[in-house]
Structure 1
Amino acid sequence: MAAPSEAPVTRQVSGHAAPAPVPSGPASWQPLAAAVAELPVLDASGRPVLFGELFRERRAIVVFVRHFLCYICKEYVEDLAKIPKSFLQEANVTLIVIGQSSYHHIEPFCKLTGYSHEIYVDPEREIYKRLGMKRGEEIASSGDPAQQGGTLILGPGNNIHFIHHDRNRLDHKPINSVLQLVGVQHVDFTSRPSVIHV
């Protein structure tokens, strides 16, 4: 009788050194949150803001995008732009996008995507690095083309409730599943007409 076959063991191989592992589990995330809270991000005018100030008073969904020329990231942010501010306000949650290019790219990116929630950049990618965001895929861009993004739920204070590291440009966390985690009502992202009542 043949031995039962096992699934092959696979792992991604790259030429880059692996980032420091991110601690797993909410209790081990707190020192990580404190470490990144004091790092600066830049707003659309280039003014530095401490990252921790963005989620000190309330929970925040923070989406780190690969770069502003990534077509997949653009589409994802276009969908984020469709989340009504009233839905976020009802749940006392703020939505923040962090890019990793120059602050000069914020305004054109917002015009392109229709995004009107909070947006900042981490041009040195220091927060990306400390949070263990992966690197991979070489594509021309504004910002490090190999940098991957991710989604976090932070605050109030230095509390990290959820971390998702994008493995590649197609690995964004589904928006409605993130909204559900913070008590924000479901958003219909379909753009095609549909019959609601008959």
Structure 2
Amino acid sequence: MKSQDRSISQEAIDRCADLPILDAEGSSKPFKSLYADSKNERHLIVFIRHFFCGHCQEYVRALAEFLPPSTLSSLALPAKLTVIGHGDASLIPTYIAQTSCPFAVYADPTRKLYDAQGMTSNLGMGDKDPDYIRRGFLKVLTTSFWGELMAGRKALSGGNWSQNGGEEILDGEGKLVWGRKMLNTRDHAEIKELKEVLGMHET
């Protein structure tokens, strides 16, 4: 059973450097390519659950609304956001369309990145309703089910249902600035917390 500790270590990030991620065409490149040679830019990397997870889809929509690329790039120390899922890479275009995601999306179908960082696996929902989920549970569940139905033969390729993700911020040298792991299926970092970590103080 994986640890329930939220923390992500630098050692875990270093283990991930050369592990592959896939783009929508199935082309592979190392994880470190997301941040290498960009010393003046931070990298917010969001690991979602399976590609049909309605909770994660709500989260990506919230990120698109409150942390769009234009806002992140205009910070004193610019940031770039990347989403990584663990389903079949061929589902990436559909995921982007369904969530109106303005960020780059990659896949880690082997879940090696998730395993290297000790991310949790469970189907618990926690005891708190996240602020980023603004639709009712039934609506979110229906959205997940409909997405799978529309995927047809690829309905079983969205990823492992129990695998949770997390969020981390790396600098251009791959140094961990901040990170946390999800402890349940609705445990993404709230947008307010991400803003604070990025230095976007409310006025």
Q: Could you state the TM-score of these two structures normalised by the residue count of structure 1?
A: 0.76
Contact 2:69 2:102 in 1 (8 A): no
Letter in 2 for 1:166: M
Match of 1:35 in 2: 15
SS in 2 for 1:127: helix
Structure 1 residues 173 and 20 mapped into 2: Cα distance closer, same or farther (>3 Å)?
Answer: closer
Paired residues for 1:30-179 under 5 Å: 30-56=10-36, 57=38, 58-82=41-65, 83-91=67-75, 92-137=78-123, 142-179=158-195
**CA distance in 2: counterparts of 1:173 and 1:130, whole angstroms:** 20
How far has the Cα of 1:179 moved from its partner?
Answer: 2.6
Structure 1 residues 20 and 32 mapped into 2: Cα distance closer, same or farther (>3 Å)?
Answer: farther
How far has the Cα of 1:21 moved from its partner?
Answer: 7.2
Letter in 1 for 2:2: A
Letter in 2 for 1:181: V
Q: Which is greater in Rg?
A: 1
Structure 1 residues 185 and 98 mapped into 2: Cα distance closer, same or farther (>3 Å)?
Answer: farther
- RMSD between aligned alpha carbons? 2.4
**CA distance in 1: counterparts of 2:19 and 2:13, whole angstroms:** 10
**CA distance in 1: counterparts of 2:201 and 2:92, whole angstroms:** 27
Structure 1 residues 177 and 20 mapped into 2: Cα distance closer, same or farther (>3 Å)?
Answer: closer
How far has the Cα of 1:184 moved from its partner?
Answer: 4.2
Contact 1:166 1:172 in 2 (8 A): yes
Contact 2:121 2:163 in 1 (8 A): yes
SS in 1 for 2:2: coil
**CA distance in 2: counterparts of 1:130 and 1:72, whole angstroms:** 24
Segments of 5+ residues of structure 1 without an aligned counterpart are: 1-16, 187-198
SS in 1 for 2:94: helix
How far has the Cα of 1:185 moved from its partner?
Answer: 6.4
Q: Could you state the TM-score of these two structures normalised by the residue count of structure 2?
A: 0.74
Segments of 5+ residues of structure 2 without an aligned counterpart are: 125-143, 145-154
Determine what percentage of the aligned residue pairs are the same residue. Answer: 31
How far has the Cα of 1:112 moved from its partner?
Answer: 0.3
Contact 1:87 1:184 in 2 (8 A): no
**CA distance in 2: counterparts of 1:184 and 1:97, whole angstroms:** 20
Count of aligned pairs between the two proteins: 166
Report the structure, 1 or 2, having the larger helix content.
2
